[in-house]
Amino acid sequence: MLFRRPLAAMLAAWIACAPTPVPAEPTEENPLAAQLDPDYAAGKLAIEAGQWSAAIKRLSSAALRDTRNADIQNYLGYAHRQLGEMDAAFRHYELALKLNPRHRGAHEYVGEAYLMVGNPGKALVHLDALRKICLIPCEEMKDLEQAIADYQAGNKR
């Protein structure tokens, strides 16, 4: 019994001091999902390469297997938006936010999409949501604020 107590204390101290892994992308809920699904991983690589159609194909396959992944839906929205397929983009962003109403990336990207279709009022709604989600200013909030400022200044993206 005496041996277990110091061992337990040492283990607790080690766990408390162990570094917490930081996800590669702060907008992702589950950064390991891409490692587990080859279509998800390939879709993310296609996005990084600007291969929007390939990204949509691979991410759509991943979405069939992982129906509750807001990140996949957010990436699909982004790829459709890059192709100018705004109806599809909005559908995927809406689904991402339905799955995770606090998804920072989806709020940023749908806000930017609303600016693209000339609806800054809706973009402001998502900026307000980000202000409530991000207790301290986050990258997504700053990016959407800048996009709105550029839009209002006539520098549409």
Q: How confident is the model at residue 153 (pLDDT cuts 50, 70, 90)?
A: very high
Q: pTM to 2 decimals?
A: 0.78
CB-CB contact of 88 with 55 (8 Å): no
How does the average pLDDT of the chain come out, rounded?
85
124 CB-near residues (< 8 Å, 6+ apart): 111, 148
49 CB-near residues (< 8 Å, 6+ apart): none
Residue 24 DSSP class: S
More confident residue, 29 or 21: 29
125 CB-near residues (< 8 Å, 6+ apart): 111
Q: Is 1 helix (H, G, I), strand (E, B) or coil?
A: coil
34 CB-near residues (< 8 Å, 6+ apart): 40, 41, 44
Q: What is the DSSP string of 87-146?
A: HHHHHHHHHHHHH-TT-HHHHHHHHHHHHHTT-HHHHHHHHHHHHHH-SS--HHHHHHHH
Task: Compute the average pLDDT of residues 8-13.
Answer: 43
User: What is the pLDDT, as a whole number, of residue 27?
Assistant: 46
User: What is the pLDDT, as a whole number, of residue 157?
Assistant: 55
More confident residue, 1 or 51: 51
Tokens of 3: 């041996």
Task: Identify the residue whose tokens are 């397929």.
Answer: 85
Give pLDDT tens digits for 59-92.
999 999 999 999 999 999 999 999 999 999 999 9
